[in-house]
Homo-oligomer: A and B are copies of this chain.
Amino acid sequence: MKTRYALNYKGLVFKTEWVALPDIEAHCKKLGIKPTGKAAWAPESDYYTLPAIHDPSTGTYISDSLLIAKYLDETYPDTPRIFPNKAEVGLQLAFVDAFVACVAPAPALAFTVAMTRIDRRSEEYIRRTREKAFGATIEEMTPTGEKAQQEWEKLRKGLDKVAAWYAETDDKGPYILGDVVSWADFVVGGQIMMLKALWGENSEEWKRITAFNDGRWGALIESLAKYAS
């Protein structure tokens, strides 16, 4: 989602090739796309993740949404900048770290439902790799009952923090820099879009997210919708 936003914002034409989860590693190795880090469930081996892009005009294959964003700003200087001000990149990266901590409870809350959104082969792959490493089933790793309530409360408080950062520029526009969209918004919007896709538009969970912070999160992805296609 972050890379999709970035490409559309820059007006760069692209086509999407979907790769099923179990095929990502082989696909990246075949094309010489680098791993992006180590996985929590296999800290010894390289971890290959998408998105990755292939830019035929330079012959570049590159993975990691942040590296892609920097590459696009550098390679296409005449298009709108994902990092509008070079001096701000450090602040943008700190924002992302702070944001990830604020929404930390969200992925686990959506574990079980996520299994219903992917194909059977991907589900089998996720269960095989994660359940063994963590010694628990996906269902056991998904908070329920009182624990779920606590995690929702943490998520609500986390989003309150993020909303307070956004509120500093509310007079100018819906983005963290006010009227100019930037990397931070793509990260936040991408996360919100993921939760919407996982829980489903008509779910209780999605309604809860859209009710938080006076509807800020639904409004943000609305503002970004023009870059989401």
Interface on A for B, CB 8 Å cutoff?
85-95, 97-99, 101, 161-162, 164-169, 172, 176-178, 180, 184
CA distance A47 to B121 in the complex (A): 55
Question: Does A176 lie within 8 Å of B90, measured CB to CB?
Answer: yes
Question: Does B166 lie within 8 Å of A87, measured CB to CB?
Answer: no
Other 14 A-B pairs with CB < 8 A, given A87-B177, A91-B165:
A87-B178, A88-B177, A90-B167, A90-B176, A90-B177, A91-B91, A91-B92, A91-B95, A91-B184, A93-B164, A94-B98, A94-B162, A98-B98, A101-B101
Question: Does A90 lie within 8 Å of B161, measured CB to CB?
Answer: no
Question: Does A165 lie within 8 Å of B87, measured CB to CB?
Answer: no
Chain B residues near A172 (CB, 8 Å)?
87
Chain B residues near A93 (CB, 8 Å)?
164-165, 168
CA distance A94 to B164 in the complex (A): 9
Chain B residues near A161 (CB, 8 Å)?
97
Within the complex, which residue of B91, B162, B164, B166 is in contact with A88, where a contact is CB–CB below 8 Å?
B91
A89: nearest chain-B partner, CB-CB? B168
A177: nearest chain-B partner, CB-CB? B87
